[in-house]
Amino acid sequence: MSTVIAIHNVSFDYGELPVLEAINLKVEAEEFLGLVGPNGGGKSTLLKIMLGLLSPRQGHVEVLGKPPKVGRLAVGYVPQFAAFRRDFPVSVEETVLMGRLGRTGLLGGYSREDRRIARQAMERTEVQALARRSVGTLSGGQLQRVLIARALATDPQILILDEPTANIDLRAETDIFDLLKDLNAHLTIVVVSHDIGFISQYVGQVACLNRTLLCHRTSGITGDVIEQLYGMPVRMINHITRSGQEQGDG
Q: Is residue 103 part of a domain?
A: no
Q: Is residue 124 part of a domain?
A: no
Greater confidence (149 vs 168) lies with 149
Q: Is the pLDDT of residue 119 over 90?
A: yes
**Tens-digit pLDDT profile for residues 3-57:** 999 999 999 999 889 999 999 999 999 999 999 988 889 999 999 999 999 999 9
Q: Is residue 97 part of a domain?
A: no
Residue 240 has a pLDDT of 42
Q: Is the pLDDT of residue 113 over 80?
A: yes
Residue 199 has a pLDDT of 85
Q: What is the 3-state secondary structure (H, E, C) of the chain?
A: CCEEEEEEEEEEEECCEEEEEEEEEEEECCCEEEEECCCCCCHHHHHHHHCCCCCCCEEEEEECCECHHHHHHHEEEECCCCCCCCCCCCEHHHHHHHHHCCCCCCCCCCCHHHHHHHHHHHHHCCCHHHCCCEHHHCCHHHHHHHHHHHHHCCCCCEEEEECCCCCCCHHHHHHHHHHHHHHCCCCEEEEECCCHHHHCCCCCEEEEEECEEEEEEHHHCCHHHHHHHHCCCCCCEEEECCCCCEEEEC
Q: Is residue 58 part of a domain?
A: yes
**Tens-digit pLDDT profile for residues 62-106:** 999 999 999 999 999 998 866 566 677 899 999 999 999 877 665
Residue 78's domain comprises: 3-86+156-249
Residue 228 has a pLDDT of 58
Residue 131 has a pLDDT of 96
**What is the pLDDT confidence band of residue 236, given thresholds at 50, 70 and 90?**
very low
Measure the CA dihedral 114/115/117/122, to 10°: 140
Q: Is residue 108 part of a domain?
A: no
Residue 197 has a pLDDT of 75
**Tens-digit pLDDT profile for residues 196-225:** 778 888 998 899 899 999 886 765 555 565
Question: Across residues 184-188, what is the average pLDDT?
Answer: 95
Greater confidence (38 vs 130) lies with 130
Question: Across residues 148-159, what is the average pLDDT?
Answer: 96
End-to-end CA distance of the chain: give it in Å, rounded.
32
Could you tell me the CATH number of the domain that includes residue 55?
Answer: 3.40.50.300
Residue 129 has a pLDDT of 97
Half-sphere exposure of 102 (CA within 13 A, CB side): 12
Greater confidence (199 vs 181) lies with 181
Q: Is residue 91 part of a domain?
A: no
Q: How far is residue 163's CA from residue 208's CA, in Å, rounded to a whole number?
A: 15
Q: Based on the structure, what is the number of domains in the chain?
A: 1
Task: Tell me how far CA of residue 43 lies from CA of 39, 110, 190, 191, 202, in angstroms.
Answer: 8, 34, 11, 10, 19
Q: Is residue 142 part of a domain?
A: no
Question: Across residues 120-129, what is the average pLDDT?
Answer: 97
Q: Is residue 239 part of a domain?
A: yes
Residue 250 has a pLDDT of 43
**What is the pLDDT confidence band of residue 160, given thresholds at 50, 70 and 90?**
very high
Residue 85 has a pLDDT of 67
